[in-house]
């Protein structure tokens, strides 16, 4: 009985997870680009990016979703429900993570860029080999945490008719005259995924702190001048 | 569309935001009291409440309350269901905001107060709260903005607030892009004063910290 009810909702859970992954796949690279623009772009670019991130964070997610799904057609862009949601949440993700990326870039000491330049590393090589590996450690825990918010946000897909977890629970509940029962199963599923992602974030955080400690240990080297 | 309808929908948005904030502020007191109590069961219950409230999308809780709870066979009205739901979910966030404020005060001060046998209530009112309050207010303001945006969800159970009204107009032929963009700007405009208040409090706290140091 209960097992069957859970199984009835599983395809919905699958779609919710796919919506989250697709939104992050679009949103995180965009967020990195926006963070780079905020960090070292010119004035006009910084202003434009700041405007976009303010809008992305200041609009309710449901309004942004409607803007992409019901609004874009009046500009001649018609998107199906799935791509509309992914575009809307990709944009929101970029808006929220831009500042995480920007502050990670800003936290890397300037001396490292100067050292890279002294070693004649080009701009791209400096970014990929020196800056990125360090920035990733800083951004990973908050970005994984943010993905929980994106996952919960996919519940809004209900409003544009996607058959994700909430819609399935709603339909099953209406069909079997027990909305509460199915909504509570859906709630349990959301909670399980959120706790799972939070556990991953903790493990990652722990690992990063572990390696940071190893790195911080003074090298027992004869080159040490303070010995 | 008449100005009267527009104002009415703004009224619903403000009503749901204000009332659920009040519910969250009161329930949050119980959450923080339980979370910081000496009783293990109470602490566990508070932690569970916070985890479960925050771990599930508010839309799901909204449906649980609206479709699931009946009093003598009758459902709650959409407006009261929205207020109950957002207030309950918010109690987890505000409870944690209260806790962040209380825990920002160094434990040594508490120890000093109890060593001087200052009564609990007096030490809370005269020493702890004045230091904790700015942090609580600034976290509370951030929550208020978050809550304002979440009231858009109430449109999905039929509360005729701003998002409901705009969606209705668009389904009847209004320009979707213009309408939803203006709607988003309305939310931004409503949250701007709250954000400014939070920033000015943060700055004042920072100045005080520097003055102390």
ipTM score: 0.90
Interface of A with B (CB under 8 A): 54-55, 58-64, 66-67, 70-75, 152-153, 155-156, 158-159, 166, 169-170, 173, 179-180, 183-184, 186-187, 190-191, 194-195
Whether B150 and A59 lie within 8 Å, measured CB to CB: no
- pLDDT attached to residue B209: 64
Q: What is the spatial distance between Cα A143 and Cα A138, in angstroms, rounded to a whole number?
A: 9
A126: its two tokens:
């400096």
Judge whether residue A222 has pLDDT over 50: no
Position B49 scores a pLDDT of 97
- Work out the angle between the directed axes of helices B3-35 and B176-212 (0-180°, nearest 10): 40
pTM for the predicted model, two decimal places: 0.89
Interchain proximity B60–A75, CB inside 8 Å: no
Q: How far is A119 from chain B (nearest CA, A)?
A: 41
The pLDDT tens digits of the residues spanning A135-192 come to 888 999 999 999 999 999 999 999 999 999 999 999 999 999 888 999 999 999 999 9
Q: Does B138 touch chain A (CB under 8 A)?
A: no
Q: Are B35 and B46 in contact (CB under 8 A)?
A: yes
| Shortest distance, CA A118 to any CA of chain B (angstroms) | 38
**In chain B, which residues have pLDDT < 70?**
1, 209-213
Distance CA A169, CA A167 (A): 5
Task: Find where tokens 């450690």 sit.
Answer: A137
Which residue ranges make up each domain of chain B?
Answer: 3-212
Q: A226 pLDDT exceeds 60?
A: no
Instruction: Give chain B's end-to-end CA distance (angstroms, integer).
Output: 57
In this complex, the residue of B155, B170, B177 whose CB is nearest that of residue A75 is B177
A183–B149: do the CB atoms touch at under 8 Å? no
- For residue A182, how far is the Cα from the chain centroid? 28
Find out whether A46 and A35 touch, Cβ atoms under 8 Å.
no
Answer whether A38's CB lies under 8 Å from A105's CB: no
Query: How far is residue A145's CA from residue A142's CA, in Å, rounded to a whole number?
Result: 5
Residues of B in contact with A156 (CB under 8 A): 59
Nearest CA in chain B to A194: B55
**Per-chain mean pLDDT for chain A:** 90
Domain B3-212 in CATH 3.40.630.30? The answer is: no
| CA dihedral (B68, B69, B72, B77) positive or negative | negative
Classify B117 in phi/psi space as left (phi over 0), alpha (psi -120 to 50) or beta: left
Is the CB of residue B73 less than 8 Å away from at least one CB of chain A? no
């Amino acid at each position: 009985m209960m097992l069957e009810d859970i199984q009835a909702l599983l395809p919905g859970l699958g779609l919710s997870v796919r919506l989250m992954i697709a939104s992050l796949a679009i949103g995180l690279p965009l967020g990195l680009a926006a963070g780079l623009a905020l960090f070292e772009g010119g004035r006009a670019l910084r202003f434009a990016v700041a405007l976009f991130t303010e809008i992305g964070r200041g609009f309710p997610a449901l309004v942004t979703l409607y803007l992409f799904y019901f609004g874009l057609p009046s500009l001649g862009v018609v998107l199906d429900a799935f791509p509309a949601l992914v575009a809307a949440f990709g944009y929101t993700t970029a808006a929220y993570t831009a500042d995480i990326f920007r502050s990670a870039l800003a936290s890397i000491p300037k001396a490292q860029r100067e050292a890279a330049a002294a070693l004649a590393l080009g701009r791209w090589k400096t970014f990929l080999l020196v800056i990125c590996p360090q920035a990733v450690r800083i951004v990973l825990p908050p970005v994984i945490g943010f993905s929980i918010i994106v996952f919960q946000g996919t519940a809004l897909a209900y409003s544009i008719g996607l058959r994700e977890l909430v819609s399935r629970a709603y339909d099953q509940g209406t069909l079997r005259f027990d909305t509460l029962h199915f909504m509570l199963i859906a709630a349990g599923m959301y909670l399980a995924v959120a706790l799972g992602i939070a556990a991953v974030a903790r493990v990652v955080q722990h690992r990063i702190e572990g390696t940071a400690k190893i790195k911080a240990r003074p090298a027992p080297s004869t080159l040490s001048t303070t010995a | 569309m008449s100005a009267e309808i527009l104002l009415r929908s703004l009224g619903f948005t403000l009503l749901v935001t204000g009332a659920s904030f009040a519910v969250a502020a009161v329930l949050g007191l119980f959450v923080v009291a339980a979370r910081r109590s000496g009783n293990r069961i109470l602490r566990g219950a508070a932690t569970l409440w916070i985890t479960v409230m925050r771990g599930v999308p508010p839309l799901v809780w909204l449906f649980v309350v609206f479709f699931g709870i009946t009093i003598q066979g009758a459902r709650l009205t959409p407006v009261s269901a929205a207020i109950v739901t957002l207030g309950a979910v918010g109690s987890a966030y505000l409870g944690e905001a209260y806790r962040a404020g209380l825990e920002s005060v160094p434990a040594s001060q508490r120890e000093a107060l109890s060593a001087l046998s200052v009564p609990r209530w007096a030490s809370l009112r005269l020493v702890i709260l004045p230091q904790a309050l700015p942090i609580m207010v600034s976290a509370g303001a951030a929550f208020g903005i978050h809550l304002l945006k979440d009231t858009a969800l109430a449109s999905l159970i039929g509360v005729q607030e701003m998002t409901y009204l705009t969606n209705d107009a668009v389904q009847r032929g209004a320009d979707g892009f213009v309408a939803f963009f203006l709607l988003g700007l309305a939310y931004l405009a409503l949250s701007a004063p709250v954000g400014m208040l939070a920033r000015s409090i943060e700055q004042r706290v920072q100045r005080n910290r520097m003055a102390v140091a």
